[in-house]
Chain A
């Protein structure tokens, strides 16, 4: 192993979180090195508009995802089982390369609601401690809405997020999401125009007394230049969005909004195709000294640094901390340790509506264009006596139906042959669906750990996921999907098919890439890994940033909050840490 000259900052991962922090710290004048496991990705070279519309390449063969041969995880539903490795991605899609999962994301950019950051306190105050089901281990985040809001604003301004503000500096405005927290500024770009399906849904929801709003989206609705000087072009609803890189410079990602400005800086260097093996600490274990990584030739290097920022995907953040023995590994039996605890997911539900005489032109779409309602999300409705907590974001967001994957047919249609073909023909244009992306609350036995049996090509243990849906979440899924079905029924389709999440978590069908927790933030070092500045307890020059910090997952997409946390950490480093390097909060 060769040792490189020391740098001020090393950032692991050049997705959203890593690129934002690298940019902010490079702007501060620090020497920053970003280390990325995957290849360099670039709109101009990788997402050519003439060839990017390739469903086989990007969806079937998962071009933008991590190769499972390079790294994967093992999975089981509960601690009594032996976990097995995932050899192809199913349930979720970890990204790879610069831009990370932010290249193939949909672009839905919710802010979490103010109550979310003190969820346990809020629910206890409203319903009493006894109302929280025993199986759940809910926690507060150790931060507040007031502390988060400016950083949501920063992220939205970098991403060009489009939407309609319902609560602008306390002024209530009809047409936006009435449940959103107070915003200090408007969305940088106005909402996208709505396709037919979302329009129809919004009418039906309104007729039932709900308050539909355009889903906030980091697909810009008009040409937009962000505070870093980088310009995006308006979304064209081409429908090659989720699972694809955007060829039109319309979908915000680190490569379309941050890296063009960051790469110009002489005090920033990116190492791509370099996989970090370990975060190094000194003999006291209280100071990070740098990282070791392996390059694409198989050579190992040590990169010393004064400040280490771990900003990979949730899984790799947690795995690196376990491999580097940062914090104590969580043990569900003793309920001790913090690294790996409070792993959560997203509870995906949906209702499909088959009509006879409607034409939705389903090929028109975008990862994040649509209308939603929030009446049944989080704690926006009274949970008294319902027997569960949480809820989901109900919405119609047509992502663009590609030719291989989209073949909507009613249940009991034969799987092949002339009847199937006829059913496809009859239903292709006239089917729509309403989704309900719902919360996932943490339990004592849902956690992340190192697998004792399977290892990666470097001989390091794989990450093991132990997860099953909480009883609470399955009840919530039934209830919320029932509410969706009521709206669907009011739209008078020929047939509706409701699919609430049920049974055990199955890693095979795609559900959501919103995997969160495992290295969570909080105010108490005995139940959290990082403080509210994303600084690791007891290792003050180490920051771990990403959805790994969520103590549980609300009924919203995580990326807006990941971006806000990245700005929050960068802000704390720039304004407090650099002036007095050390613990910003003492436990």
Chain B
């Protein structure tokens, strides 16, 4: 059994490498597959692992539900009738086959920055997908958002079309990082604040936003609530393994790490870290931490001691690779505490990756702590051990719980 399998596998590999040398398109398809990983296409286009890219993932937006399309080459329900120009127009202009306008949940506002070469590679790879017949109604928005022609106005306000232009005064590594973050990686889709129409707010790139009931934190280089205290190694470790000395990826970012960033090449992760760390230190208003004498802080300290300190340690130090550090952690200083409230109330499971398979979980405390108590303990950790951030009240906790229903 073993011997036979490995022999035939070895034979197959030998054939494969021979074929690869003989067929340059093999390299193109392999590059395209990597670009699909960079873009995390699977996040919105695969619901069932046995039907890859057949669509169906529901995205809850503030305007209603959008559903990821079937992007397999099935002519009837997928994109089998498309040609490259159709594909490129969808990716870079947000206009699909037959002139149908795409919603911004499909991050063409980022993909517009992708190079023609990358798009061609990606397209070559997509031709190799198994066509799957799977009807998807992508637009499930209520009136009036379901009228696609309204998107003309949306695009006019929110969309800057055009391929990424390198900054000549920056290093090649920085430029590669900028391309990945702003283009295929589409980090801003979650991490950039949105205006009332759901478009990116000008001048606030990557400063943090609530997405699907989580707060996608500030990724700028500012010290208090951004990545200023993270080293490039911290960023690479987080994206590569889901874990670094501050945190473990959770919520939608766990999916992003699991499907996408853990598979990125090391030089690409380094480039991303260089770009994120190369940004200006944003001038941010750093609040004064609440005094320990504050009633909420006193209650929070008691709850922390009895419920939290066993794992996160009495001084908020945490434990390496398993329990996130709370001390001096910019993630606790975000202007919005949605994610913190959520993990305390509902619990959350960290990502598992090849390098860090543990996937430790934060348990749900909603059964043993009331809204006031959850608010107090979140307020306490946001204002202890070097952290400082706005207090949280019971109403905010209830709001997060309501959104979970």
The residues of A with any CB-CB pair to B shorter than 8 Å are: 8, 28-30, 43-45, 48-51, 223, 225, 228-234, 236, 238, 247-249, 260-261, 264, 306, 578-579
Q: Specify which of A228, A233, A261 lies most central, judged by the most chain B CB atoms within 10 Å of its CB.
A: A233
Complex interface: chain A residues within 8 A of B355 (CB)? 229
Given A30-B2, A260-B357: A236 and B322 interface contact (C-beta under 8 Å) = no
- Assess whether A48 is in contact with B5, with CB atoms less than 8 Å apart: no
Complex interface: chain A residues within 8 A of B365 (CB)? 50
| Interface segment out of the listed B51-59, B119-127, B346-354, B391-399 | B346-354
- Assess whether A231 is in contact with B5, with CB atoms less than 8 Å apart: no
- Assess whether B322 is in contact with A44, with CB atoms less than 8 Å apart: no
Q: Does B321 contact A (CB under 8 A)?
A: yes
Complex interface: chain B residues within 8 A of A579 (CB)? 3
15 A-B residue contacts at CB 8 Å?
A8-B1, A48-B347, A48-B363, A51-B363, A223-B322, A223-B323, A225-B321, A229-B355, A231-B358, A233-B323, A234-B319, A236-B311, A248-B311, A249-B358, A264-B352
> How near does chain A come to B351, taking the closest CB pair, in angstroms?
12
* Closest chain A residue to B313, Cβ basis: A234
* Closest chain B residue to A574, Cβ basis: B2
Given A50-B307, A578-B3: A223 and B363 interface contact (C-beta under 8 Å) = no
Given A29-B2, A231-B356, A238-B310: A48 and B364 interface contact (C-beta under 8 Å) = yes
- Assess whether B360 is in contact with A44, with CB atoms less than 8 Å apart: yes
* Closest chain A residue to B361, Cβ basis: A44
Complex interface: chain B residues within 8 A of A231 (CB)? 320-322, 356, 358, 360
Cα A306 to Cα B3 with chains together (Å)? 13
- Assess whether B364 is in contact with A50, with CB atoms less than 8 Å apart: yes
List residues of B (334-372) whose CB comes within 8 Å of A's CBs: 347, 349, 352, 354-361, 363-365, 367-368
Complex interface: chain B residues within 8 A of A30 (CB)? 1-2
The residues of B with any CB-CB pair to A shorter than 8 Å are: 1-3, 5-6, 307, 310-311, 319-323, 347, 349, 352, 354-361, 363-365, 367-368
Cα A247 to Cα B361 with chains together (Å)? 10
Complex interface: chain A residues within 8 A of B6 (CB)? 29
* Closest chain A residue to B368, Cβ basis: A50
Cα A234 to Cα B322 with chains together (Å)? 10
- Assess whether A260 is in contact with B352, with CB atoms less than 8 Å apart: yes
Cα A44 to Cα B358 with chains together (Å)? 10
Contact of A233 among B3, B5, B319, B352 (CB under 8 A): B319
Cα A223 to Cα B320 with chains together (Å)? 6
Given A50-B364, A306-B1: A261 and B357 interface contact (C-beta under 8 Å) = yes
What are the 6 A-B residue pairs with the smallest beta carbon separation, nearest first? Answer: A44-B361, A48-B363, A223-B319, A231-B321, A236-B310, A231-B322
Given A49-B311, A225-B321, A231-B321: A260 and B363 interface contact (C-beta under 8 Å) = no
> How near does chain A come to B314, taking the closest CB pair, in angstroms?
10
Complex interface: chain B residues within 8 A of A238 (CB)? 310
> How near does chain B come to A536, taking the closest CB pair, in angstroms?
19
- Assess whether B357 is in contact with A228, with CB atoms less than 8 Å apart: yes
Given A223-B322, A306-B1: A230 and B311 interface contact (C-beta under 8 Å) = no
Complex interface: chain A residues within 8 A of B323 (CB)? 223, 233
- Assess whether A51 is in contact with B361, with CB atoms less than 8 Å apart: no
Complex interface: chain A residues within 8 A of B3 (CB)? 578-579
> How near does chain A come to B12, taking the closest CB pair, in angstroms?
14
Contact of A43 among B310, B321, B352, B361 (CB under 8 A): B361
- Assess whether A28 is in contact with B310, with CB atoms less than 8 Å apart: no
Cα A127 to Cα B5 with chains together (Å)? 54
* Closest chain A residue to B369, Cβ basis: A50
Contact of A260 among B5, B310, B319, B359 (CB under 8 A): B359
Complex interface: chain A residues within 8 A of B321 (CB)? 223, 225, 231
Cα A230 to Cα B358 with chains together (Å)? 5
> How near does chain B come to A487, taking the closest CB pair, in angstroms?
33
Complex interface: chain B residues within 8 A of A260 (CB)? 352, 357-359
Cα A260 to Cα B2 with chains together (Å)? 24
Contact of B367 among A51, A247, A249, A264 (CB under 8 A): A51
- Assess whether B363 is in contact with A247, with CB atoms less than 8 Å apart: yes
Contact of A229 among B2, B347, B357, B367 (CB under 8 A): B357
Additional pairs, 10, CB under 8 Å, beyond known A233-B322, A264-B354: A8-B2, A45-B361, A223-B323, A225-B321, A229-B358, A230-B357, A230-B358, A231-B360, A260-B358, A579-B3
Cα A306 to Cα B310 with chains together (Å)? 46
- Assess whether A50 is in contact with B363, with CB atoms less than 8 Å apart: yes
- Assess whether B310 is in contact with A50, with CB atoms less than 8 Å apart: no
Complex interface: chain A residues within 8 A of B360 (CB)? 43-44, 231, 233, 249
Cα A562 to Cα B54 with chains together (Å)? 47
- Assess whether B368 is in contact with A51, with CB atoms less than 8 Å apart: yes
- Assess whether A229 is in contact with B368, with CB atoms less than 8 Å apart: no
* Closest chain B residue to A48, Cβ basis: B363
Complex interface: chain A residues within 8 A of B368 (CB)? 50-51
Complex interface: chain B residues within 8 A of A225 (CB)? 321
Cα A249 to Cα B359 with chains together (Å)? 11
Complex interface: chain A residues within 8 A of B359 (CB)? 44, 260
Complex interface: chain A residues within 8 A of B367 (CB)? 50-51
